[in-house]
Amino acid sequence: MSVPQEYDVVIVGASIAGSTTAILLAQRGARVALIEQQRDWRAYKKVCGHFIQASATPLIERIGLASRIEAAGGLRNYGEFWAEWGWIRPPAAPQRRYGHNIRRETLDPIIRTLAAETPGVDLMLGYAVDNLLVDRGRPIGVRAEGHHSKSVTIGARLVVGADGRSSRIAQLANMPKREWRNGRFTYLAYHRDLPTARGAPSHMWLLNPDVAYACPNDDGVTMLAAMVTRDKRAIWKSDIEGNFVRMFCSIPGAPPLSQGRRISPFIGAVGMSHIARTVARPGLALVGDAALAAGPLWGVGCGWAFQSSGWLADCVGDALDQPSSLDNALRRYRNRHRWELGGHAFLISRYASGRRFNVLETLILAAAARNSWCAGHLAKFADRTIGASQFLAPTAVARAIAANVIHLSAAMRTQSPRVAHAGRQESEVESANRHCFTGQTKEQELRRQRDQPERCRWLRIGLTHDCVNAAGE
Ligand SMILES: Cc1cc2nc3c(=O)[nH]c(=O)nc-3n(C[C@H](O)[C@H](O)[C@H](O)COP(=O)(O)OP(=O)(O)OC[C@H]3O[C@@H](n4cnc5c(N)ncnc54)[C@H](O)[C@@H]3O)c2cc1C
């Protein structure tokens, strides 16, 4: 088949990954066709947590987007975490790189406009790609159906799939994929006038195994989200608002819902599995969610959409003229993607099952609540600015063990019988809180606590102190 190669690159999908790739490649002199099925340039992704990890900040600054995000009210942000050992409050900027919080409603039109304004990018709105054009096994372009059934054929040296988690391009190119079931479902809702609305960090409550979030965004809107294990789905479905309110009323330091107002319906997301695909083959590459759609719990997808676009552009930017050098460049992109995200993706995919923390995670989280170096180290991993091998380096694990041992021996020295008694009362309050939003009966909750693996129990000693601190927030 022969198709005129009017473009160097055709990119399918003009959201975060597609627009970023288009900007970066056009800045290097490529002629880029950017095709988006939505007709309206203001279209945006409806289900997202809007928290962009700090790992993407250098790329966001490089394409000139940071100033536009901040001009539109987006916030510089970072995460703080609560786990049963207390708050994990890593040092803030300048020691820690910041990320951004901005609703997709605001972000998507900004980045699409930035792409359309970049010389060399032709943005084609309202065209859904439905076919991959192939010559002797090599992709050479796409066919897209426009509204009013007007179809176009676009030839290019490189086809890029930036078309999200259920990528049509990946399907048409038969890109191998692996998929892990998500054991949690999500409900999120937007609120106004909550006390966390401006300037405060985003909060994540690791309720083991459930998770809750509060993320302040542009325009004074805070997104609250609950990610709950699937066994509670029927209970939640029968009373979403009641369960949501009970959850946020029972977690320490949560924004008081009574002081704000909910401005959206509850938005549910079920079945968001973790999908990892082979990200490149000769003549074709995948970026963003099309390449790796991580389970949503850790809020990494937008950051990785920016970053993977940057890696692709850096690899292929100077290699678009020659098919052989392009294919070598695509191989480099594939290796870079695996090197940068393989460890993160492995850990995220395993935790997506809905399981409770394992011993190593328990050790690290407890240490992070007790020691500022461990908190900072955990934050670098959660921000995705260090990889899994650095995060779990023997020295880091040794420091976590030491932090726990020091804390526990101090707690054992100071714990009087009266405090121990208070500890039992505290744990009952905790238990009552927990079962009120997990939908379990108190008997079920007590049985679950009794069945806690013995190996984790030693880490719970000294918990009273942390709980009192947390409750005193
Ligand atoms: C519940 C939930 C919460 C999340 N929270 C966060 C969070 O807090 N932080 C975070 O970083 N990530 C989060 N994510 C993930 C994040 O939303 C995605 O990772 C991100 O949107 C990926 O961007 P993308 O550009 O790769 O794909 P998308 O944003 O999905 O864009 C794909 C684009 O391709 C277009 N398209 C699709 N098919 C075609 C076609 N055939 N022809 C033409 N165009 C096409 C679509 O219209 C769309 O514009 C969350 C996800 C979920 C489900």
d(CA 34, CA 93): 36
Between CA 30 and CA 119 the distance in angstroms is: 10
Pairwise CA distance, residues 420 & 124, whole Å: 67
End residue of a domain, out of 223, 248, 269: 269
Share of the chain above pLDDT 90, in %: 78
Question: CB of 449 within 8 A of CB of 243?
Answer: no
Residue nearest to atom 15 of ligand 1 (CA): 301
Residue carrying structure tokens 């426009």? 146
Does 312 lie in the same domain as 174?
Answer: yes
Q: Which residue has the higher pLDDT, 197 or 382?
A: 382
Distance 171 CA to ligand 1 centre (A): 17
Region of poorest pLDDT, from 73-77, 421-425, 438-442: 421-425
On whether both 167 and 307 belong to a single domain, the answer is yes
- Helices 301-316 and 323-351: angle between axes, nearest 10 degrees: 160
Q: Are residues 285 and 365 in the same domain?
A: no
> Is residue 310 pLDDT above 70, yes or no?
yes
Q: Given this model, what pLDDT does residue 447 score? A: 56
Q: Ligand 1: which of 15, 125, 187 to mutate, most ligand atoms within 8 Å of CB?
A: 15
Task: Calculate mean pLDDT across residues 182-187.
Answer: 97
**239 lies in some domain:** yes
Pair (278, 326) in one structural domain: yes
Q: With the CA atoms of 295, 166, 384 and 396 taken in that order, what torsion angle do they form, in degrees rounded to the nearest 10?
A: 50
Rounded (10°) CA dihedral 83, 86, 91, 92:
70
Q: Which residue type is seen at 264?
A: S
Both 448 and 380 in one domain: the answer is: yes
- Judge if 258 and 197 occupy the same domain: yes
Best CA proximity match to 363, nearest among 387, 399, 395, 313 = 399
Q: What is the CATH number of the domain that holds 22?
A: 3.50.50.60
Shared domain check, 188 and 147 = no
DSSP 49-95: --EE-GGGHHHHHHTT-HHHHHHTT-EEE-EEEEETTEEE----TTT
Task: Identify the domain containing residue 43 by its residue range.
Answer: 7-50+103-179+274-347
Least confident among 64-68, 156-160, 308-312, 434-438: 434-438
Give dist(CA 370, CA 87) in Å, integer: 9
User: 92 falls in which pLDDT band (50, 70, 90)?
Assistant: confident
Q: How far is the CA of 47 from the centre of ligand 1 (A)?
A: 8
Lowest mean pLDDT among 396-405, 437-446, 450-459, 463-472: 463-472
Residue 333 phi, psi dihedral angles, 5° rounding: -60, -45
The mean per-residue pLDDT over the stretch 282-290 comes to 98
pLDDT digits (tens, 9 = 90+) for 118-143: 999 999 999 999 999 999 999 999 99
What is the arithmetic mean of pLDDT over 55-76? 97
On whether residue 200 sits in a domain, the answer given is: yes
The least confident of 1-10, 14-23, 232-241 is 1-10
At position 183, the amino acid (one-letter code) is G
**218 pLDDT more than 70:** yes
* Residue labelled with tokens 């009017």: 6
Ligand 1 pocket test, pick from 78, 302, 337 with the greatest ligand atom count within 8 Å of Cβ, gives 302
Cβ 465 under 6 angstroms from ligand 1: no
Average pLDDT, stretch 339-353?
A: 96
pLDDT in tens, 411-432: 888 865 544 444 444 444 444 4
150 pLDDT above the threshold of 90: no
Enter the tokens of residue 249: 């009323």
Residue 69, domain member (yes or no) = no
Please tell me the total number of residues recorded for the chain in this structure: 473
CB distance 383 to ligand 1 below 6 Å: no
Beta strands in 90-220 (DSSP E): 99-101, 121-125, 127-135, 138-146, 151-161, 177-180, 184-192, 202-206, 211-216
Which residue has better confidence, 439 or 227?
227
Q: Nearest-CA neighbor of 223 among 191, 254, 267?
A: 191
CA Rg, the chain, in Å?
24
Tell me the pLDDT band of 169, cut-offs 50, 70 and 90: very high
Does any domain span residue 303?
yes
Tell me: do 117 and 214 sit in the same domain: no
Instruction: Give a yes or no: residue 94 inside a domain.
Output: no
Q: pLDDT band at residue 144, thresholds of 50, 70 and 90?
A: very high
Please state at what angle helix 417-438 crosses helix 240-249, rounded to 10 degrees: 160
Measured in Å, residue 409 CA sits from the centre of ligand 1 at 47
Centroid of ligand 1 to alpha carbon of 289 (angstroms): 6
Q: Which backbone phi and psi does 52 adopt, to 5 degrees?
A: -100, 120
Mean pLDDT of the chain: 88
398 and 450 housed in the same domain: yes
Residue at 90 is within a domain: no
pLDDT digits (tens, 9 = 90+) for 364-395: 999 999 999 999 999 999 999 999 999 999 99
Contacts of 47 (CB under 8 A, 6+ apart): 188, 267, 269
> pTM for the complete prediction?
0.90
